[in-house]
Amino acid sequence: MRKTLRVLASRTLLTASLLFLATSPLQAAPAQAPANKATTTHPPGAAIASAHALATDAGMEMIRQGGNAFDAAVAVSAMLSVVEPISSGVGGGGFFLLHDAKSGKDVFVDARETAPESATPQAYLTPNGELDNDRATNGPWSAGIPGLPAALVHVSGKYGRLPLKTALAPAIRVAREGFAVYPRLERGYASRREVMERYRGTREVFLADGTPPKAGEVLRQPDLARTLELLGEKGFDGFYKGEVAKKLLAAVKEEGGRWRAEELSGYRVKEREPLHFKYRDWSITTAPPPSSGGVAIAQMLQMLSGWDLKSLDEAQRTHLIAESMRRAFRDRTIYLGDPDFVKMPLARLTSADYAAGQRAGIHPSKATPSDLLPGQPAPLEDDETTHFSILDAEGNRVSTTQTVNLLYGSGLVAPGTGVLLNDEMDDFALRPGTPNAFGVMGFEANAPAPGKRMLSSMTPSFIESKDELAILGAPGGSRIITEVLIGILAYDDGLTAQQVAAKPRIHHQWMPDVISAEPDALSPETVKALEAMGHKVNDGERTWGNLQTVSWDKRANTLEGGTDPRNPVGKADVLVK
């Protein structure tokens, strides 16, 4: 693929950038509009990549039954609820980025959890005004009103072809018959054991045989099977009203929390316009707020479009990528929240002019200390959540990231439902107004309010050029955003889907002011060069993330899936017609 650079900048800022470029060894290439006319109109079959083989297989089962990518997405989601409760589930929420091939339209289905009325900022403070971390991350107060069941009903009913019941059937079967526990579930349980075992409903599921789940053992969830059956039979009302809703309300009450029945029955998914922008030859479609991910990706890529990254050595390239991450994360903290509650300068943040201004402030060979970019540090997020990517033979696409937030969410299973509630409330800035000379407004944009959606980092995305289409996303808290950035840059470098999923990662999130690097991400010489520029580098951190991607090479008309090798139970599969 021919890869030329598109410089996006106003006259004034472009001049500033060019002055800078003239004094730097980094070169800008001439502007050129990307062309996106497909060389082949339809993929040769379907491709699915997800974090668990049973989920990928459930999606393919729908395709074989004549379903489309949207039916497959419902089947994959429901199966992940059963086999990956550590990451996502019907007690949580998520975002679905969809492309409907028939209409040619992209839509973002926002199934983020909402805050119950009881969740005032004061409710999360200890008597001496500190954040009550236990309340924020464990048990009923940490849980938002779940959004995923409503999304399954919505995606199936509006975009799918098969009955919801059919799409839920594989998950119901596995919930009832059981699946083999794998090491990540066992390790995650061990790290959350104290919380999990506080709650009667959780003990009933995870200590059914008297001992915590062990790799290789079979975990059965008959109550969850029944809940999914009710969802399949009654749709929205099967979860948000009636028997299941009553049990959810009772569980929250029994453990000292407060949800109202109307908060469940009033939950609605929202269809939003995705973010669209260009990077080099690629048209990028990604997540709008209440995700911060798409805005950050737009900012970073537009900053980076001022350089020909491929011509740079590893240290220079890493320096520029880290500097773009630093700046995007700073803005994330200051400005972003639920678009239905806060006004955000989105047009400015995602504009080429703004990116050009930020680019002009990046020194070619010196790190900018994060302290010099005023603002309030974002709390570190945890490393869970799940993502899957689907393309079908009609060209329908699904990129969806779903979560219960931290490992096993709140740890609270509502007795008799099998539903493990999320702890997404911790994604709000629960202690707005934390003293900081510059950063108060950042926390206000993401302060909790009744019905409000908490800011997320989930970044389901599509990238498309004339010759190639890729669907990608990842879990990993704030590292989601940089995983997706590195994934997009890897596709731009010409890597295959599997190489993109495997690519070693770096991360910078403004605060703490450090480049995190996976083993093998940076050579020792690069680490030295970055340190000489003033960067702190945590080289050789434990690996992170679980990127799942599929791609379609339109020239060769071939499909490929990429599943993250960091997660041995994931599976990418291709079914050619």
- Phi first, then psi: give them for residue 456, nearest 5 degrees: -125, 160
**Single residue of 160, 477, 487, 561 touching ligand GLY by CB under 6 A:** 477
Assess 405 for contact with ligand GLY (CB under 6 A).
Answer: yes
Q: Are 315 and 534 in contact (CB under 8 A)?
A: no
461 contributes a contact to ligand GLY by CB under 6 A:
no
> What is the smallest separation between the CB atom of 175 and ligand GLY, expressed in angstroms?
24
Q: Does an H or E element contain 550, and which?
A: strand 548-553
Judged by CB under 6 A, the stretch of 123-131, 229-237, 330-338, 450-458 that binds ligand GLY is 450-458
114 binds ligand GLY (CB under 6 A): no
The one catalytic residue among 114, 318, 333, 385: 385
Task: Pick the closer one to ligand GLY by CB: 384 or 513.
Answer: 384
Helical axes 164-177 vs 222-234, angle rounded to 10°: 170
Is 456 a residue that touches ligand GLY (CB under 6 A)?
Answer: yes
- Closest listed residue to residue 145, CA positions, set 3, 264, 289, 272: 264
Q: Which CB atom, from 238 or from 477, has the smaller least distance to ligand GLY?
A: 477
Of 290 and 416, which CB lies nearer to ligand GLY in the complex structure? 290
Rule CB under 6 A: say whether 323 interacts with ligand GLY: no
Q: Does 457 interact with ligand GLY (rule: CB under 6 A)?
A: yes
Distances (CA, A) of 372 to 49, 354, 368, 414, 445: 41, 18, 7, 47, 22
> Considering the complex, what minimum distance in angstroms separates the CB of residue 481 from ligand GLY?
9
Among the listed ranges 249-257, 307-315, 317-325, 451-459, the one in contact with ligand GLY (CB under 6 A) is 451-459
Instruction: Answer whether 289's CB lies under 8 Å from 337's CB.
Output: yes
Report yes or no: 572 and 470 within 8 Å, Cβ to Cβ. Answer: no
H-type alpha helices, 372-523:
440-445, 479-492, 497-502
Per-residue HEC secondary structure of 359-383 comes to HHCCCCCCCCCHHHCCCCCCCCCCC
| Least distance CB 129 / ligand GLY (angstroms) | 25
Residues 413-432 that bind ligand GLY (CB under 6 A): 424, 427
Residue 294 amino acid letter = G
Size of interface with ligand GLY, in residues (CB under 6 A): 10
Closest C-alpha to 397, from 465, 491, 464? 464
**What type of residue sits at position 378?**
A
Residue 330 and residue 296 in contact, taking contact as beta carbons nearer than 8 Å? no
Q: Are 155 and 108 in contact (CB under 8 A)?
A: no
Q: Which two tokens stand for residue 406?
A: 């931290």
Does 407 engage in binding with ligand GLY (CB under 6 A)?
Answer: no
When asked if residue 389 is in the footprint of ligand GLY (CB under 6 A), the reply is no
Closer of 87 and 498 to ligand GLY (Cβ): 87
Q: Shortest Cβ distance from residue 422 to ligand GLY (Å)?
A: 8
* Cβ-based nearer residue to ligand GLY, 247 or 332: 332
Q: Does 459 bind ligand GLY (CB under 6 A)?
A: no
Contact between 137 and ligand GLY by CB under 6 A: the answer reads no
Min CB(112)–ligand GLY separation in Å:
8
State which residue, 255 or 381, has the beta carbon closest to ligand GLY: 381
Asked if 84 touches ligand GLY (CB under 6 A), the answer is no
- Burial of 568 from C-beta contacts in 10 A (0-12 / 13-18 / 19+): exposed
Q: Which residues pair with 402 in a beta bridge?
A: 94, 386
Are 573 and 61 contacting, i.e. CB atoms less than 8 angstroms apart? Answer: no
User: For ligand GLY, which residue has the nearest CB?
Assistant: 456
Give, to the nearest 10 degrees, the angle between helix 53-64 and helix 164-177.
140
User: In the complex, what is the shortest distance from the CB of residue 210 to ligand GLY, in angstroms, rounded to a whole number?
Assistant: 32
Piece in contact with ligand GLY (CB under 6 A), picked from 49-57, 355-363, 434-442, 453-461: 453-461
Question: Looking at residue 121, what DSSP letter applies?
Answer: G
Specify whether 385 is catalytic.
yes
- Region from 47-55, 211-219, 278-286, 455-463 binding ligand GLY, contact rule CB under 6 A: 455-463
Indicate whether 471 belongs to the interface with ligand GLY (CB under 6 A).
Answer: no
Question: Is position 458 an interface residue for ligand GLY (rule: CB under 6 A)?
Answer: yes
Pick from 85, 222, 70: nearest CA to 152: 70
Cα-trace Rg, the chain: 23
Instruction: Kindly state whether residue 385 participates in binding ligand GLY, applying the rule CB under 6 A.
Output: yes
In the complex, minimum distance from the CB of residue 483 to ligand GLY, in angstroms, rounded to a whole number:
12
Pairing of strands 179-180, 571-576: unpaired
Q: Using the rule CB under 6 A, which residue among 281, 381, 383, 539 binds ligand GLY?
A: 381
Q: What does the alpha-carbon distance between residue 77 and residue 417 come to, in Å, rounded to a whole number?
A: 17
Q: Which of 403, 446, 548, 551 binds ligand GLY (CB under 6 A)?
A: 403
Contact residues: ligand GLY, CB under 6 A: 381, 385, 403, 405, 424, 427, 456-458, 477
Task: Report the catalytic residues.
Answer: 385
